Homo-oligomer: A and B are copies of this chain.
Amino acid sequence: MTMSNTGGRRKPPTIHDVAREAGVSRGTVSRVLNGGHYVSPAAAEAVNAAIRRTGYVVNRHARSLITGRSDSVGFLLTEPQERFFEDPNFNVLLRGCTQALAAHDVPLLLMLAGTDDERRRITRYITAGHVDGVLLVSSHSGDPVAEELRAAGVPLVACGKPIGLGSKVSYVAADDRDGARDMVRHLLGLGRRRIGVVTGPLDTPGGVERLAGYREVLAEAGVEEDERLIVSGDYSRASGESAAERLLGRAPDVDAVFVASDLMAQGVLAALQRAGRRVPEDVAVGGFDDSPAAVAVSPALTTIRQPWDRISAEMVRVLLAQIGGEETAAVILPTELVKRASA
C-alpha cells in the first residue's frame, strides 16, 4: 500500500557488476577508481566504459569502512547560534565552504553546538571519526570544543584566530588590525580628530584586533587617546545603538565613529539620526565587514571588506591539506577599504 517508494530504489550496480561488464577483476576496477595507477590503458578504458554503461557510483560506506576515512568534513558552529545565524557573513562563509568542498567531491555536514549537550554529542561524533576534519566557526575564547578536538588529533581549521590556542590550531583570518588601521587613517584623512570606536566583544580576535588597530593609528598620528571615546558592543545591531548612545553621552563632541561591524554600525546610524546628528557631516561613520547591511542602510556605509570568498576557499584548502598529513598553518588575508557615503 505504500506509495512513497513507488519508482523504487533498485539496488545500484557494484564494483562487481562493473568488473563483469569490463571483463576484468574487481581489483582492477578499484585501481581505476583510485587514480588509475598500475592499470593498462586498455583495461582503464574498458572499466571507464563499463562505469558509464552501468551508471556505477562508488559506495562510500564500503570505501570508508576500509580506508578509515569518511571523505566528509564537518562545519561546526559553536556560537550561541542566534547571533551568528543573523550575521550575513555566516551565509557567505557557509556557502563558500560548501562549494569549495563540493569541488573536491567532499560533502559538508552542518553541525550546531549551541548547548553543552549538543557539544558533547558532536564532539563524540567527530572524535569517533565520522568526519575527517572540521571547519570551526567559534570566535569566543573559552570555547572548549577547539581544544578538545585538537587534543583528539582531529584536523581542524578555525575561522579567525582562536584565542588561547595560538598556532597549535590552523586558522584563516582577515587582517583585522590592518583593516582597522585603514579605516581610522581614512577618518583622520577626512580631518576628524574626535574619533570614537565601537568595539566587538573583547574576548574575540575581531574585538581585540580592531581596537588595537584603532589605537595604533591614533598614536602614530599623535592624537591623544581618550577612554571616553571607546565603547563596546557584541556585534548586534541593538548593541551598536546603545553603544552610540553611551558614546554621545560621554563625548558629545565626537566627530567620527569606527564601528567594528556593519550590523552595529546600522544601530549607530539609527542612534545618531535620533540624536539629530547628520552623517557624515556631523559624524562620519565607518563600518567593518562590507555586509549586505552596508548598502541597505542610508547613507550607505563606508566599510572594510573582508574577503569571505577567499577565507572560505583557504579554510577548505588548509583543512584538506591537513587531512592529507600536512602541518598546521595560519593564513592571514588582506582587507580592503570600501568608500561609500557615510565617511
Chain A residues packing against B (C-beta within 8 Å): 2-9, 12, 57, 59-62, 64-65, 70, 72, 75, 81, 85-86, 88, 90-92, 94-95, 98-99, 102, 105, 107-112, 118, 121, 124-125, 127-130, 150-155, 237, 266, 270, 292, 296, 298, 322, 325-328
Which residues from chain B contact A109 at a C-beta distance below 8 Å? Answer: 72, 107-110
Q: A12 touches which one: B75, B98, B129, B325 (CB < 8 A)?
A: B129
Report yes or no: B4 in contact with A328, Cβ–Cβ below 8 A. yes
Chain B nearest CB, measured from A268 CB (Å): 13
Indicate whether A155 sits within 8 Å of B4 (C-beta atoms), given known contacts A65-B59, A102-B121, A112-B102.
Answer: yes
Q: How far is the CA of A4 from the CA of B155 in the complex (A)?
A: 7
Q: How far is the CA of A92 from the CA of B112 in the complex (A)?
A: 13
Chain B nearest CB, measured from A322 CB (Å): 5
A97, closest chain B residue (CB): B110
Indicate whether A86 sits within 8 Å of B327 (C-beta atoms), given known contacts A12-B129, A109-B107, A109-B108.
Answer: no
Q: How far is the CA of A112 from the CA of B322 in the complex (A)?
A: 25
Q: How far is the CA of A109 from the CA of B296 in the complex (A)?
A: 32
Which residues from chain B contact A110 at a C-beta distance below 8 Å? Answer: 75, 94, 98, 108-110
